[in-house]
Amino acid sequence: MTEEEQKSEHAKLARRVVESFVRRTEVPDVSDAPDELKNKKAGVFVCLKKDGDLRGCIGTIQPVAGSIAEEIRNNAISSATQDPRFMPVTVDELDRISYSVDVLGDAEDVPDITHLDPKVYGVIVRSGGRSGLLLPDLEGVDTPEDQVRIASMKAGIRPGEPVKLQRFKVTRHD
């Protein structure tokens, strides 16, 4: 998928950032990003898929940068180079990678698992100082139980350990 084929400004920016970083090891300036990305803050996840398979996905629950554009830049580079599940993206792969950017809404506490819907809400699972997050509407995650189990596993929380649950919505930009 070329930059022109990416529909959203969010995904186009993620693509531009990754390609610049992988080709030239340059962290691009994002001051030319559209105002909608420069004038707001939010947590952002950037996911890369190669030939339809996950190739990297890293993000922030809450904003740590000065704008959504900066959040996309930082997390796009991390997704391409720092996701521990994958080797860093190479120049040879760039033409086969598609990008999606999830902008997170505010997390809200929920009393129990019955208030979750994995197609609508992402989940944050916390126990002690550990936390795990799972985005909504992921292939193969069909029940709240699946969602909590996977998020708990990511956080190193054992089955049966008491957890605090939060849910959030995302706006997905492909």
Domains annotated on the chain, with CATH = 9-104 (3.30.700.20), 108-173 (3.30.1490.150)
**pLDDT tens column, 62-115:** 999 999 999 999 999 999 999 999 999 999 999 999 999 999 999 999 999 999
Alpha carbon distances (Å) from 145 to 78, 88, 103, 142: 29, 32, 24, 8
What is the pTM (predicted TM-score) of this model? 0.91
Pull the structure tokens for residue 66.
Answer: 């000065």
- Tell me how far apart the alpha carbons of residues 82 and 61 are, in angstroms, rounded to a whole number: 17
Here the tokens at position 15 are 């693509």
Residue 45 CA to residue 59 CA, distance in Å, equals 4
CB 22 within 8 A of CB 95: no
Q: If pLDDT is split at 50, 70 and 90, which confidence band does 6 have?
A: low
Please work out, in degrees rounded to the nearest 5, the angle formed at the alpha carbon of residue 46 by the alpha carbons of 115 and 29.
140
Q: Which residues contact 36 (CB under 8 A, 6 or more apart)?
A: 9, 68
* Of 3-7, 36-40, 44-48, 87-91, the least confident: 3-7
Report the pLDDT value the prediction gives residue 7, as an integer from 0 to 100: 81
Cα–Cα distance measured from residue 26 to residue 125, given in angstroms and rounded to the nearest whole number: 35
Cα-to-chain-centroid distance, residue 121? 14
Taking all residues of the chain, what is their mean pLDDT, rounded to a whole number? 94
Residue 80: name the closest of 104, 103, 50 by CA. 50
